[in-house]
Amino acid sequence: MNINQEFETIAAISTPLGTGGVGVVRISGDKSFEIAKKITCKNNITAGKIHHGWVVDDGVKIDEVIILPFKTPNSYTGEDVIEIQCHGGVNVVRNILDVVLKNGARPAERGEFTKRAFLNKKLDLSQAEAVDDLIHAKTSNFAIQSAKNLSGVLAKKINEIKASVFEVASRIVAGIDFPEDVKEPEYSYIIEKFENSVREIDRVLACAKSSDILRQGVKVAIVGRPNVGKSSLFNALLNLDRAIVTDIAGTTRDIIKENLDLGVAVTLIDTAGIRQDDNIDRVEEIGIEYSKQSANDADLVLFLYDASFGISSEDIEIYEIIKDKTHIVVANKTDLLSEEFVPRFENTVKLSVYTKDGLEDLKEKMKNIVCSFSLEETEFITNKRQQACLERCRESLARAIAAARSCELQDMIYIDVKAALLSLDEITGEVINDEILNNIFDHFCIGK
Ligand code: GDP
């Protein structure tokens, strides 16, 4: 599809529904200007000028607004776009959207504005995906990294690799098509060029793990037997009263999760206390099973015990479960200690959640570990889809290199080269099927 093709005119509320200073209703498509003129009774709405007026519906004044008009192709979607800035109340923006829909637009689907921007070549697919990342970034760091991709950092790298593979591909094709006039490229040249491309792909893929961690966050589970202060610590780290704290063993029966920003997004998990006891009911039993699983899935485990009580055989059992995972031992309730504290395990942080003594020290240790998972300067942010395309491209190039090493017919080598180019095209979206495309934009919010 291209910019000249007709689309229906769409509209949506582009700001979050809530009470705020300003709300934005966005319209995109051929009828945008006409609708704006109708609903404001203004005939002079022109691109590049900011207009002030009232949205009126059947003579009833709806709201005093600012109109921002953009003419194709100089807009977010590449089409005619009108943005209406109104007062930011839930019902005001809804009323304005209703008037816009009544006058000729249809409600936009999820991500439809960005999808049109992609189809109209305002963004490539990696940039469109970066828009979604930017909006949903759980940390300021990931938002900054996503903005890099929006500005085209990944697209540029992919296009560089593509240009290099394409150069070899064209020489192979010329050699095949015009054997009289053009010499086939040397095998050594093919090998060298493709090895270079594989190195560049590996550079991008080397950042895959840290990309995933920046995007999804690091899972940190707090485990220990009941009553050692897990929920208290959970609340203290989050600085809120999220989990219920009591001195009754077995209060936390479920898993509670919250997000925490330590530069990297952290999902902090409070687990049911792990204990062996005949009085355990079925619900608590399931909770304990989940706890063991959470400890197992976690990237970092905080193993908590009660320093005032000392280490029990139950503590040792739990420690045995987690000791091979990345962990920090936390000796809690040190405010109740009457004697000098002697840590039993290596890597122990002394803590009193009650007085907050040691809390900053623990946070610092957590931060160091969590950041070490992800931040050897993440050069390229990629998502799973892009990583899979790069893996496929790498495999095709590796096959082409192997074939060139055994001096196979260049027609045969070309099959893998074409596959490699296709995989790269999928990343930027030059070649993409509708199902994948819809899948990507279905994750967007309405109005984006
Ligand atoms: P959980 O079962 O491991 O989640 O433990 P809780 O967080 O529910 O705490 C159990 C009890 O220990 C509560 O009465 C807390 O107030 C108390 N507690 C937690 N941390 C400390 C601490 O550092 N010092 C003291 N003195 N009491 C604590």
pLDDT in tens, 108-125: 999 999 999 999 999 999
* CATH code of residue 99: 3.30.1360.120
Better-scored residue on pLDDT, 314 or 23: 23
- The residue contributing the CA closest to ligand 1 atom 24 is 333
pLDDT at residue 376 greater than cutoff 60: no
* Same domain, residue pair 180 and 297: no
pLDDT in tens, 126-147: 999 999 999 888 778 888 889 9
Candidate from 1-5, 198-202, 279-283, 321-325 with smallest mean pLDDT: 1-5
- Average pLDDT value for residue range 303-309: 93
pLDDT grade for 5, boundaries at 50, 70 and 90: very low
* Same domain, residue pair 363 and 313: yes
* Same domain, residue pair 295 and 228: yes
Distance 365 CA to ligand 1 centre (A): 21
Residue 235 Cβ inside 6 Å of ligand 1? The answer reads no
* Same domain, residue pair 68 and 39: yes
Residue 408 has what pLDDT?
94
Residue 3 has what pLDDT?
42
Report yes or no on 436 lying in a domain: no
Residue 290 has what pLDDT?
63
Number of domains comprising the chain: 3
Better-scored residue on pLDDT, 27 or 431: 27
Residue 271 Cβ inside 6 Å of ligand 1? The answer reads no
pLDDT at residue 151 greater than cutoff 50: yes
* Same domain, residue pair 356 and 230: yes
Measured between alpha carbons, how far is 261 from 239 in angstroms, rounded to an integer? 12
Report yes or no on 446 lying in a domain: no
Residue 337 Cβ inside 6 Å of ligand 1? The answer reads no
pLDDT at residue 370 greater than cutoff 90: no
Which of 222, 227, 232 has most ligand 1 atoms within 8 Å of its beta carbon, as the pocket-test mutant? 232
pLDDT in tens, 279-296: 555 555 555 666 677 788
pLDDT grade for 107, boundaries at 50, 70 and 90: very high
pLDDT in tens, 398-430: 999 999 999 999 999 999 999 999 999 999 998
Report yes or no on 13 lying in a domain: yes
pLDDT in tens, 165-201: 999 999 999 999 888 888 999 999 999 999 999 999 9
* CATH code of residue 336: 3.40.50.300
> Mean pLDDT, the chain, as a whole number?
88
Domain containing 202 equals 131-207+381-429
pLDDT in tens, 228-268: 999 999 999 998 765 555 555 555 555 688 888 887 889 89
